[in-house]
């Protein structure tokens, strides 16, 4: 269950650019861009940051800024359509706006993640142009929502807003961008905020001044903070996430439970074995020690490698207690299978050694 006020990113959002041929572990940018599959997808990373790293506010900040970027793209895309299609009789100042907007085509097709790790230089340039346009927009005389000019043309003639685009009927207004940027500022950035994240003082001061004093609402205002948060997650959280999800398939509560069960079973095996030896039972009777030794060694090996080998061979991983999902990332599936076979081999060797020792050692009745 998510904590109050937190919302998990949807698990079933389709990956925009899935790479099923990737013969390596994914990067943090690929995870944040939803280009990976379970168990190294964004949903898994969110759960890891929330339950194990205890720093989900950093990821939520990233996701909110990425959502603000998408909101800005939607706004500019709708504005471009309204200017280029709905208002052919533009004044001279608006014509200059249309030339700027015409260069911002295909904004809706870009991924919403990343301040500095763009897949291509073209995408970086397009986002920079969009931010520059939003900063300069007041001087261009465009203050209304993207469809305001068309609304004025159709007002009184039709009861509903008519658009030829595939966007929602209620388009994004400039006030929505302002509300979005202020929400991020007051939730994550300002000192004493509800979910304040640790940022260098200079970054916090710059963001606050640009938003509150200069009235900026373009996504570039958060670039320094996004770079800092990205590097912090990449350095402090992401390596542990890959170890936990790409090399294992168990979560900490389950791992601890296996340690307890393994130690109890192993103690039961030793206790039973010594009793059977010192009471001089037949070797056939002593074969019963195979059961506790096998359970004990198996669970201790699962604890040591954070991996259940049988579950790994079946292609499943554990998200939360008693909540399992299939491993769909091909390279991770190969790693898990190899490690599962290794854990089974180690289990068989240690189990066989203990069983041979306690079954075939000569008995002596005390």
- The model's pLDDT over 91-131, given as tens digits with 9 standing for 90+, comes to 444 444 445 445 555 544 444 444 445 555 666 677 777 77
Q: What does pLDDT average to over the chain?
A: 80
Please tell me which of 16-20, 35-39, 151-155 the model is most confident about, judged by mean pLDDT: 35-39
Helix 223-232 vs helix 201-208: crossing angle, to nearest 10:
150
Cα angle for residues 86, 173, 131 (degrees, 5° grid): 90
pLDDT exceeds cutoff 80 at 274: yes
Rounded distance between C-alpha atoms, residue 189 and residue 206, angstroms: 11
Query: What are the domain boundaries of the chain?
Result: 28-245, 248-360
The model's pLDDT over 229-261, given as tens digits with 9 standing for 90+, comes to 999 999 999 999 999 999 999 999 999 999 999
Q: Which of 12-16, 242-246, 269-273, 362-366 has the lowest average pLDDT?
A: 12-16
Residue 83 confidence (pLDDT): 64
Q: What is the pLDDT of residues 282-330, one digit of tens each?
A: 989 999 999 999 999 999 999 999 999 999 999 999 988 889 999 999 9
Query: Measured between alpha carbons, how far is 119 from 254 in angstroms, rounded to an integer?
Result: 38
CB 25 within 8 A of CB 332: yes
- Per-residue pLDDT tens over the stretch 32-91: 999 999 999 999 999 999 999 999 999 999 999 999 988 988 888 888 777 655 555 444
Contact 343, 305 (CB under 8 A): yes
pLDDT of residue 110: 46
pLDDT of residue 156: 40
Buried b (16+ CB within 10 A) or exposed e, 239-253: eebbebbbebbbbee
Return d(Cα 318, Cα 324) in angstroms, integer.
4
CA-nearest of 40, 47, 63 to 2 is 47
Question: Is the whole model's pTM more than 0.75, yes or no?
Answer: yes
What whole-number percentage of the chain has pLDDT above 70? 73
């Amino acid at each position: 269950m998510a904590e109050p006020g937190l919302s998990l990113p949807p698990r079933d959002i389709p990956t925009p650019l899935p790479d099923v041929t990737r013969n390596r572990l994914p990067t943090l940018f690929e995870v944040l861009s939803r280009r990976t599959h379970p168990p190294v997808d964004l949903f898994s990373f969110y759960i890891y940051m929330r339950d194990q790293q205890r720093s989900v506010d950093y990821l939520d900040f990233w996701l909110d800024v990425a959502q603000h970027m998408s909101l800005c793209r939607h706004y500019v895309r709708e504005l471009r359509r309204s200017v280029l299609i709905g208002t052919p009789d533009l004044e001279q100042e608006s014509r200059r706006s249309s030339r700027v907007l015409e260069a911002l085509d295909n904004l809706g097709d870009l991924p919403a993640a990343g301040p500095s790790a763009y897949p291509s230089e073209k995408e970086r340039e397009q986002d920079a142009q969009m931010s520059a346009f939003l900063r300069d927009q007041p001087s261009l005389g465009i203050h209304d929502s993207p469809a305001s000019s068309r609304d004025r043309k159709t007002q009184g003639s039709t009861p509903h807003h008519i658009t030829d685009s595939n966007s929602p009927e209620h388009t994004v207004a400039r006030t929505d961008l302002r509300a979005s940027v202020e929400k991020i500022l007051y939730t994550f950035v300002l000192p004493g905020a509800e979910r304040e994240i640790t940022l260098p003082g200079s970054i916090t001061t710059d963001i606050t001044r640009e938003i509150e004093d200069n009235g900026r609402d373009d996504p570039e205002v958060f670039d320094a903070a996004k770079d800092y948060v990205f590097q912090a997650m990449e350095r402090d959280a992401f390596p542990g996430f890959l170890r936990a999800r790409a090399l294992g398939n168990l979560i900490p509560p389950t791992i601890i439970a296996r340690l307890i069960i393994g130690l109890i079973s192993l103690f039961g095996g030793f206790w039973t074995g010594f009793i059977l030896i010192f009471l001089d039972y037949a070797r056939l009777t002593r074969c019963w020690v195979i059961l506790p030794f096998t359970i004990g060694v198996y669970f201790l090996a699962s604890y040591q490698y954070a991996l259940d080998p049988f579950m790994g061979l079946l292609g499943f991983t554990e998200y939360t207690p008693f909540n399992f999902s299939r491993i769909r990332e091909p390279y991770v599936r190969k790693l898990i299978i190899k490690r599962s076979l290794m854990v089974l081999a180690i289990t068989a060797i240690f189990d066989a050694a203990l069983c041979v020792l306690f079954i075939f050692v000569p008995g002596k009745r005390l």
